Copies of this chain bind each other. A is one copy, B any other.
Amino acid sequence: MNKPVLQNWQSVQAEVLRRIHSRHWKPGDLIPTETELAAEFGCARATVNRALRTLAESGLLDRRRKAGTRVALQPVAKATLDISLIRHDVEARGQTYGYQLLERRMEVPPPAVSGAIKTASKTKLLHLQALHLADSSPHAFEDRWINTDVVPGAIAEPFDVISGNEWLLSHAPYTHGDIAFSAATASEREATVLGCAGMSALFVIDRLTWNNDGAVTKVRLAFEPGHRMRTVL
């Protein structure tokens, strides 16, 4: 009986994963306690805890005090998307990034926007429209509203060379936000600006971010036809 001593949490995690994938521990099964596993592996309980806690965070295990640790019945796949700056995305693909401001004006937003940002319906907000380019061809169309009550500094920024996202990140970082992904048919303006056919299907990201003072910005990004957002499971 060989007892390979597992002394770091990664190897403990790998062994636990091996037992799950080999169906030695099946979905729904109760697995040994941390103390038992620590004894078996010859390591401290804290090491086992780190291994199991990480697996629980990724959805593969269900842990409850007193009830113990079970292999998840239906592992909810958690895909982590890195929402980076469009500039970084483009440059990471080896293309040259370009930016072009199309519109910049203070105006009263449509009800959908003022409702989301929760300003009085007649309050003017800073409205930006811009185009992100990859190798000189249109990559994404950005339509952004900035809450100048929360970010007064934006009024003085022309946004002609730096995008709204990059400026906001360094001048008014958000504390939290929500994001939605969807598909939409290109509007006439989007088709014109992106240089695509009128009814093309566009991948769209809508984002609304907040800091401690309130809503910072609402942005809609419509990507060129064919754009894919990838990640691993």
Closest to A84 in B: B76
- Stretch in A1-9, A128-136, A153-161, A178-186 touching the partner: A178-186
With A178-B230, A182-B227 as contacts: A81 and B84 at CB distance below 8 Å: no
Q: Which residues of B contact A228 (CB under 8 A)?
A: 180-182, 206
- Pairwise interchain contact B232-A177, C-beta atoms closer than 8 A: yes
Say yes or no: is A219 at the interface (Cβ < 8 Å to chain B). no
The answer, among B81, B212, B223, for a CB contact under 8 Å with A78, is B81
Q: Which residues of B contact A177 (CB under 8 A)?
A: 77, 232-233
Dominant SS among interface residues on chain A:
strand
Say yes or no: is A173 at the interface (Cβ < 8 Å to chain B). yes
- Pairwise interchain contact B203-A183, C-beta atoms closer than 8 A: yes
Q: Which residues of B contact A204 (CB under 8 A)?
A: 183
The answer, among B169, B227, B229, B233, for a CB contact under 8 Å with A75, is B169
Q: Which residues of B contact A229 (CB under 8 A)?
A: 180-182
The oligomer's copy count stands at 2
Q: Which residues of B contact A79 (CB under 8 A)?
A: 80-81, 83, 179
With A21-B212, A80-B80 as contacts: A75 and B173 at CB distance below 8 Å: yes
Whole-angstrom distance from the CB of A144 to the nearest CB of chain B?
16
Q: Interface residues, chain A, CB within 8 Å of chain B?
A: 17, 20-21, 27, 59, 73-85, 88, 166, 169-170, 173-185, 199-204, 206-207, 209, 211-212, 223, 225-233
Given contacts A178-B233, A179-B232, 5 further A-B contacts (CB under 8 A): A77-B83, A77-B179, A79-B81, A176-B233, A183-B201
What would 10 A/B residue contacts be, using CB atoms closer than 8 Å? Answer: A21-B173, A74-B88, A77-B177, A81-B81, A176-B232, A177-B233, A179-B233, A180-B228, A183-B225, A184-B201
